[in-house]
Structure 1
Amino acid sequence: MSIAHTCFRALLVSSAALMPAAVHAQAAPAPAAADSGEIVVTAQRENRTQVIRGGQIGILGDKDAGDVPFSVKSYSETLILNQQPQTLGQVLENDPSVRTTYGFGNASEQFVIRGFALFGDDIGMNGLYGLTPRQLVAPELYQQVQVLNGATAFLNGAAPGGSGIGGSVNLITKQAGDQPLTRATANYTSTGHVGGSFDVARRLGDGSFGVRINGALRGGDVAIDDEYRRSVVIGASFDWRSDKARVFVDLAYQRVKVRNLRPTVGLAAGVTAIPRVPKSDHNYGQTFAYTDLRDIFGTVRAEYDLSDSAMLYASFGARDGYEDGVYDGITVTDIVTGAANGSASYIPRTDNNEAAQAGLRVKLDAGGITNEFNFGGSYIWQVNRNAFDFRTGFATNLYDTPQVAYPGRSFAGGNLDNPFPIQRNRLASAFASDTMGFLDDRILVTAGLRLQTIRVTRYAYATGAFESRYDEDAATPVIGVVVKPTDGLSIFANRIEALVQGDTAPNGANIINPGEAFPPFKSKQYEVGGKLSLGRFNMSVAAFQTERPSAYSVSTPIPGNPDAVTFGIFGEQRNRGIELSVDGEPVEGLRIIAGGSINDAKLRRTAGGLNEGNDAIGVPDYLANANVEWDLPFLPGTTLTGRVVRTGKQMVNPENTLELPGWTRFDLGARYVVPVAENPLTLRFNVDNVADKRYWSSAFGSFGTALLQGMPRTYKISASVDF
């Protein structure tokens, strides 16, 4: 373990032990007494901010959405508190361009943005990659969940996990605000998942020093039969601010345990139809399956104003991650009877990741033209230690699932007791950009370039010996334009790229270029759109096209070997789409978050022309969301909530002979604020999937088809009191 990880452990333990006493000693005096009506009105007002139009636009810094040529929005901690999500995926259900699926066999969320995967490995935290827990993220620690639709290789750098072509997610940790906060929350989720959380924040002394400590503990069975989940999370944030300098330290610990996860469902070769959906709460997983995740992580950030127009900034973060689990899978062989083959594996893993970024931002104004320059660099270090133990298959059934004993070993690789490194990643970059403003910044033109190097070293599972190295570089430019013809209206366009590690030609008897490493894949994106902000109401629309290269082998007969093939970058997936998003409070007491997207994802230049022009697997042809809140004027303190989520049809195989039908889910809820001893008590009751609809929600998988069943009807109850 590195010195950085050791320091983070020590800081986290000491902060958890010392800060409650400090907060108590420095607590602000109690506010003056207020009447009950004022308490209720204030509490309801604080529940209004759910979506923030803007966020951290990578190296460009914090920007309003109307000033950048990209599609960005952020979901606030208020939304997280009121909707009671247990995972990051449940927060992102509010976004009409994002859907959630699972990884292979384990409790692991991954996301589909504009038809491309975003792995948990590539979720950012405070602008840095590799620090967020990679499988499941407890939302309680975060002040904002920022979603930037589209490619971001220039803005954020290449994602180390090799995803993020269609968009990125960045988590902003909670910080102390100007007002003191002491909040306790208790919650219950059907059918037996209970827990609570706390959130304490203070500004100390003259207000230059801030601290915020929050955490949550919850556990028990969820609405799926016999699926058990437990989460423990605690975070501490410290900040110090002076006239010229700002320093932020964020530390966190997360432990998640999942037992008897309901897995995704595969289809065996020869299956010619989609199996009917099992009962909504039926669990076809095995009781021997579990996922155990532990992460210690954090960031240190600093900013220094050289002048009113120049700022130096730097950030560093680290994560020590541990994963242990027995993962199971199910592959249906007979859609009528539900007969299936089961699989099991034991896969221990540890991750030691570090990331750093530093830069200079300068603003100049001369001759009626403004310039904002950005210069800097970033570096990511990652070490993955891994081993595997695959077990023999077993007979099971999708509808009448037997529980079997843990199968015997089939084959294993690596040191199961103490996994050794099997992969080291090193990603380095240098960047420069300029945003020029004309006509009082009514026209903004951004141009930039990032030079990036990707180095991946792999080691043999069996012995840990050096196996191969990938070492390639690429330049990723950006050009974007924003035109603001009138206040509140902006029209934008961009051309930007995504960047992921290129493939390496595999070894094979007939492959004539084994071991050839290809340059990083560039996915070119073109986007145009508009944004409208009317103060209380926001709207945005965007049309985009993204092209992702793909690799396969083509026949290349040579003398003596008529079956010879060449592996290369020959194919492509092209996604085109339109997105619409609205949010705000068009009339007093009525708030909405809504939108929709259309996505046309096509396979192009396919091997031998097979499946040419077909739809890509697991990409819905359209998405639509609507979330509504209404403060009842005739019943003070009461808010009714409702949400509808609609997902269009998805293709299940590249031949497009199998498809999932579209599905619709309805959620309902209510909040009630009542004063208790001059403190607001907020009671919440939500029901997700009110109709208890059974449906396949996704066909998107990391390794081919993976049918994910939607959650059953789920009741959520919580009570929060602010002291």
Structure 2
Amino acid sequence: MKVKISVAACTVLALLSVQANAAETVKLEGVEVNSVGDNISESGISEGILNKGVASGPLAGKKVLDMPYQVNTMSIEAMNHQGVAGFEDAVKYFPSAQIQARGGVEVGRPQTRGFQGSVVGNVLWDGFYSVSTTAIPMYMFEGLQIQNGLAGSLYGGQDPAGIFNYTRKRPIPFSNTFWADYTSRSNFGVGWDTSDRFQYVGYRGVFYKSGGAKQAKNSDYGRNLASLGLDFYLTENFTIETNFSYYKHKMLGIPGGFSVPGRNGVLNFAIPDATKNTKAGLEQEWAGSDLKTTTASVKFKYAPTERWYFEGGYQWQKAIRDMYGTSKTFTNQNGDFSVAASGGNGAASRFDVQSWFAKATTEFETFGIEHNFGVQANGYIWTIYGAKTAGGRANLGNSNLYNPKTFSNPHVAKGSGAYKSSQGTMKNLTIADDIKLNDYFSVILSAARSNFENKNKQTGVKTYDESGTSYAASFIYRPVENVSLYFTYADSLQAGSSYTYERTNPRYGETVVLKPFRSKQYEIGAKARIEDIDLSTALFEIKRPIAYLGDNNEYSIQGEQVNRGLEFTAGGKITNDLSVMGGVALIQPKLKKAKQAYAQGKIVVGEPKVQSNLLFDYVVPNTDKLALSANLHYTGKRYADQRNVNAVPAYFTTDLGIRYVTKEWLGKQTTLRFNVNNVFDKRYWVGMFPSNIDGTSNGTGASLFLGQSRTFMLSAEVKF
């Protein structure tokens, strides 16, 4: 596999270099990451992926073409065309990204290159750390940008899962957009995006409300969003940005996870075939989740000269995750499962996150060598709330995946009595220097010093206080205009994981906290803009320690996860009428140095070797009004146990869409969209994760989540 990937990578790099020589006079053109205003495209995706600016960090504003990392962006235009409402809808368009669906795709952990992210540390809203494991509405953002792989040297210590950067909508000249949407089974929503800018102040408000059933019979799916951004333009060079938002996301009766028991690295039986997620009883109509996220932030931007730029601010976020879905455990491979109701953790599922950053960037020369230098101080305080009274539990009976039963609500008691349980803090200082040696060669050096601290809020005792350095070095070569070849080495720190022993363990109640882990990454890549299409590819290796409960009932580092892979992405216009966005990721995620011999060299649980997504957008010639889209998604086979005995099969889905845009009906512009996702009604398991933290232990199995069945989406949008 390693040799095959290397040969493929060399072939792609050579092709990029050869093709670019023929296009060396083409100038960079494209859409920035913060696309604003009246620019919903009538002519396709227009996704120039390399000319966009990096969204945050000490190298923010730098073109993706010049970054020695793989960075991809999905704009609000593309999201609107595809009916993207939440992060769980958007992630499939990024070939190297996934969701590890702990608790469901809406609250799962984001990941790139086969490594899952943490609750706090891998997701940024305008540069502020934010909770990743809650529902995120895309309506309030201008775009989503994902940087694959290690990023600790630029943003501070974190899991090697990449950076998921959301850019909030900012005020624009007077504009009002109203829209309504309908999603099968029978979910109806209305929204309003309003904005204006004056001499000293500007505002941007986004409001949305929806309700009704969604796919599953007797389900209840509701969303309420209120977002307001106020900007104050104190001088031409000094701006203050503020943001306030509240989002409520409620789901009842929509299928959650199904557990498969296992022991000694293998499941007890084969995984049942997936079914449609539309049947009543796959989740009880009174069971589900109620997610509420409140966010407030303030930020300043100051550019006193052309060479100096300053930015910084503070954000507070509260995420309440009231989850009271039923637990469903398979008892055999025929799809029979037991059902139990739970009062959930109640107040224990509340996270408060305070986040801050301050940075300065400048440009200067030393002996004819150009420097783009940045320094940033940033961090977060993450407070976890516990419940004084645990939720109740009731066994309801048995059901079947293909003929599910409905049960009466037992009205078990919910967890109550919120108290501050623990508090995690990360403080970081980063420096980065982009050194341009000449027109052909440059070097980027970055380093971050991070301190991790964890405190028991009840006793006041520090359970954790560790510091370390993350660093990276990159060499970039630009043989011709619009082409870059690079090599990057990165060494990144992340907070050590923790585990509390369960009742079946002699050490019941004891919490083990491990020291920080260190991840390493080697990457070689190439980027090129050829006519109106951008191409990007990278060959990489990432390795990091992996911890879980071993066969000896001890929680500790059990081996090393080593992921080797090849990524290829493309974005832009193939012809004047046909656009493309997407690519393919080939990954070989293996467990090395395993303490359990049966796990040595095996594929890591839940990670596919192949994942691909290609979105095509075609404008019917001579109309500039009618457009068609097709999205093709493939996820390869994923193993569900450490011995690699049981697996869920690969799946392929097709989404089709049609839209009509005209300026001759209402207001400035009217857009009608109709999309069908999973046209052929494929039945598949979309998410899977080991039942413990990072790997299947001797007493656990895996949890599985059903993919969405065929879904119809209709929307109408009017701009004034």
TM-score by length of 2: 0.86
Contact 2:43 2:627 (8 Å CA) reproduced:
no
Contact 1:109 1:120 (8 Å CA) reproduced:
no
Q: 1:139 to 1:617 in 2, by over 3 A?
A: same
Contact 1:186 1:195 (8 Å CA) reproduced:
yes
1:717 is matched with 714
- 1:624 Cα deviation after fit: 1.1
Cα distance between partner residues in 1 of 2:382 and 2:331: 39
**1:122-201 mapped onto 2 (5 Å cutoff):** 122-130=122-130, 132=131, 134-159=133-158, 164-177=159-172, 179-201=173-195
**1:527-542 mapped onto 2 (5 Å cutoff):** 527-534=523-530, 536-542=532-538
Cα distance between partner residues in 2 of 1:336 and 1:566: 33
Cα distance between partner residues in 1 of 2:621 and 2:607: 42
**1:53-132 mapped onto 2 (5 Å cutoff):** 53=50, 54=52, 55-104=54-103, 107-119=106-118, 121=120, 122-130=122-130, 132=131
1:546 is matched with 542
- 1:391 Cα deviation after fit: 1.1
State yes or no: 1:620 paired with 2:608: yes
Cα distance between partner residues in 2 of 1:84 and 1:278: 24
**1:350-389 mapped onto 2 (5 Å cutoff):** 350-387=350-387, 388-389=390-391
Contact 1:260 1:288 (8 Å CA) reproduced:
yes
State yes or no: 1:475 paired with 2:469: yes
Q: 1:676 to 1:341 in 2, by over 3 A?
A: closer
Alignment partner of 1:202: what SS? Answer: strand
2:35 is matched with none
Q: Deviations over 1:231-270 (max 9, x none)?
A: 1112112224433223221221111111123012111236
2:402 is matched with 399
Alignment partner of 1:66: what SS? Answer: helix
**1:8-23 mapped onto 2 (5 Å cutoff):** none
Q: 1:106 to 1:628 in 2, by over 3 A?
A: closer
Gaps of 5+ in 1: 1-40, 556-562
- 1:44 Cα deviation after fit: 4.5
Cα distance between partner residues in 2 of 1:578 and 1:426: 35
Contact 1:328 1:345 (8 Å CA) reproduced:
no
Q: 1:318 to 1:535 in 2, by over 3 A?
A: farther
Alignment partner of 2:89: what SS? Answer: helix
**1:218-257 mapped onto 2 (5 Å cutoff):** 218-241=210-233, 242-257=235-250
1:266 is matched with 259
Cα distance between partner residues in 1 of 2:39 and 2:58: 36
State yes or no: 1:202 paired with 2:196: yes
Cα distance between partner residues in 1 of 2:194 and 2:44: 18
- 1:488 Cα deviation after fit: 0.7
Cα distance between partner residues in 2 of 1:505 and 1:237: 40
Alignment partner of 1:82: what SS? Answer: helix
RMSD (Å) for aligned C-alpha atoms: 2.7
Q: Deviations over 1:258-311 (max 9, x none)?
A: 112301211123632120222342241122313112222032221222432122
Residues 699-708 or 500-509, more deviating: 500-509
Q: 1:224 to 1:63 in 2, by over 3 A?
A: farther
Cα distance between partner residues in 2 of 1:306 and 1:452: 29
AA aligned opposite 2:212: G
AA aligned opposite 1:370: E
Alignment partner of 2:429: what SS? Answer: strand
Q: 1:263 to 1:305 in 2, by over 3 A?
A: same
Higher relative contact order (CA 8 A, sep 6+): 2
2:32 is matched with none
**1:237-386 mapped onto 2 (5 Å cutoff):** 237-241=229-233, 242-269=235-262, 271-283=268-280, 284-336=282-334, 338-342=336-340, 344-348=342-346, 349-386=349-386
Cα distance between partner residues in 2 of 1:516 and 1:660: 32
Cα distance between partner residues in 2 of 1:445 and 1:549: 29
1:497 is matched with 491
Contact 1:684 1:717 (8 Å CA) reproduced:
yes
Contact 1:218 1:231 (8 Å CA) reproduced:
yes
AA aligned opposite 1:712: S
Cα distance between partner residues in 2 of 1:375 and 1:426: 20
Alignment partner of 2:417: what SS? Answer: coil
Contact 1:105 1:328 (8 Å CA) reproduced:
no
Cα distance between partner residues in 2 of 1:699 and 1:515: 26
Q: Deviations over 1:438-466 (max 9, x none)?
A: 113x322111211111111235xxxx445
- 1:337 Cα deviation after fit: 5.2
Cα distance between partner residues in 2 of 1:717 and 1:377: 45
Q: Deviations over 1:630-683 (max 9, x none)?
A: 110154410011111011111111110001111100011100123215632110
AA aligned opposite 1:492: Y
1:20 is matched with none
1:687 is matched with 676
Deviating runs (4+, > 6 A) in structure 1? Answer: 505-511
Alignment partner of 2:418: what SS? Answer: coil
Q: 1:303 to 1:636 in 2, by over 3 A?
A: closer
Gaps of 5+ in 2: 1-37, 697-701
- 1:323 Cα deviation after fit: 2.8
AA aligned opposite 1:292: D
Cα distance between partner residues in 2 of 1:51 and 1:716: 27
Alignment partner of 1:666: what SS? Answer: strand
2:208 is matched with 216
Q: 1:491 to 1:507 in 2, by over 3 A?
A: same
Cα distance between partner residues in 2 of 1:248 and 1:702: 42
AA aligned opposite 1:358: A
Residues 683-692 or 263-272, more deviating: 263-272
1:697 is matched with 686
Cα distance between partner residues in 2 of 1:60 and 1:170: 14
Cα distance between partner residues in 2 of 1:239 and 1:476: 35
What number of residue pairs does the alignment pair up? 656
1:8 is matched with none
Contact 2:153 2:472 (8 Å CA) reproduced:
yes
AA aligned opposite 1:174: K
1:455 is matched with 453
Residues 599-608 or 708-717, more deviating: 599-608
1:668 is matched with 656
Contact 1:224 1:711 (8 Å CA) reproduced:
no
- 1:217 Cα deviation after fit: 1.0
State yes or no: 1:522 paired with 2:518: yes
AA aligned opposite 1:477: Y
- Percent identical pairs in the alignment equals 21
Contact 1:603 1:611 (8 Å CA) reproduced:
yes
AA aligned opposite 1:403: T
Contact 1:433 1:448 (8 Å CA) reproduced:
yes
Alignment partner of 1:307: what SS? Answer: coil
Cα distance between partner residues in 2 of 1:319 and 1:592: 36
AA aligned opposite 2:216: I
- 1:571 Cα deviation after fit: 1.2
TM-score by length of 1: 0.85
Q: Deviations over 1:6-61 (max 9, x none)?
A: xxxxxxxxxxxxxxxxxxxxxxxxxxxxxxxxxxx986447644464342252221
